[in-house]
Amino acid sequence: MMIEAAGTREITAAQFRRIAQFQYAHTGIRLVTGKESLVMSRLDRRLRHLDLDDYDTYLAYLQEPGHQDEARQAVDLLTTNETSFFREPAHFDFLREVAVPAHRTRRPFRLWSAASSSGEEAYSAAMVLAQALAGRDWEIVGTDVSSQVVETCVRGLYPVEAAERIPADLLRTYCRRGRDEYAGMLRVSQVLRDRTTFLCANLLGELPVLGLFDVILLRNVMIYFDNETKTRLVQRLQDMLRPGGYLIIGRAETLSGIPSRLRLIEPSIHQLPGRDDV
């Protein structure tokens, strides 16, 4: 069977399976049947740039010594990055109304946006923390497997249309409208960018030393993982929570059947039992 999209090189079923295996090995994300057009639309331009005839040749190229940068670029292109400011707003209400008031220690409140994509999730949380923890220390770490979107995060620069979901008071306080060459853009304020660090990291690979967190956001990511991968990941995440800390997943996701020490306290919100007095 051979599939072809308008203006792109055709991909066979066997080639698609090999690309799916490549992506799974690097990220734990499964590309399922039906995603062939997505793969072609994202990788065809790399084949053209490298003057390669087909996807078999491209896969062989990725495995050759010295082509690690191209392999990273392929991972970037195949990683779905869909997000928006204040997506699933109930989670940010929980952060403001429950997680922050429960933080009664003197140490900084720490939040990890574990698949931060282009940064909207991390900066939404930063707006909430800046307002709710005024005068107190807090910090946010954002990580993503895609180096390209991490660069977007660091800039904190977005199309002005992205502001539609930002509450008006937070928009006025923490965002700036661009001028001249940045017309039509908004930028997250320096106050928030100073408290938010972004890193390129693979959740299933070797992570940098990040420390422990009061809240971990990993939303709308595990839907792409099988149960074995979910189990490995949840075991890792719960070990990075402080006692009493929260893991927040997407509202369409579940940890049902995944062994862990976490307990469900609200739909999509799980807590690590214990009390953190440090």
Active site residues: 42, 144
State the Cα torsion 125-127-130-131 to the nearest 10°. -110
Task: Tell me the sheet residues that pair with 157.
Answer: 187
Residue recorded with tokens 């249309």 = 161
| Cα separations in angstroms, 59 against 5, 25, 51, 72, 149 | 19, 13, 13, 13, 23
Between the two ends of the chain, the Cα-to-Cα distance in Å is: 60
β partners of residue 125: none
Q: Which two tokens stand for residue 213?
A: 């967190």
Q: Which of 71, 64, 55 is nearest to 14 (CA)?
A: 55
- Taking the CA atoms of 49, 51, 53 and 58 in sequence, report the sign of the dihedral they define: negative
Which amino acid type is present at position 191?
Answer: V
Helix (H) or strand (E) run with residue 196 in it:
strand 196-200
- Tell me how far apart the alpha carbons of residues 125 and 101 are, in angstroms, rounded to a whole number: 15
List the structure tokens of 97.
């109304």
Angle at 214 between CA 211 and CA 218, to 5 degrees: 85
The DSSP element (H or E) to which 249 belongs, if any, is strand 241-249
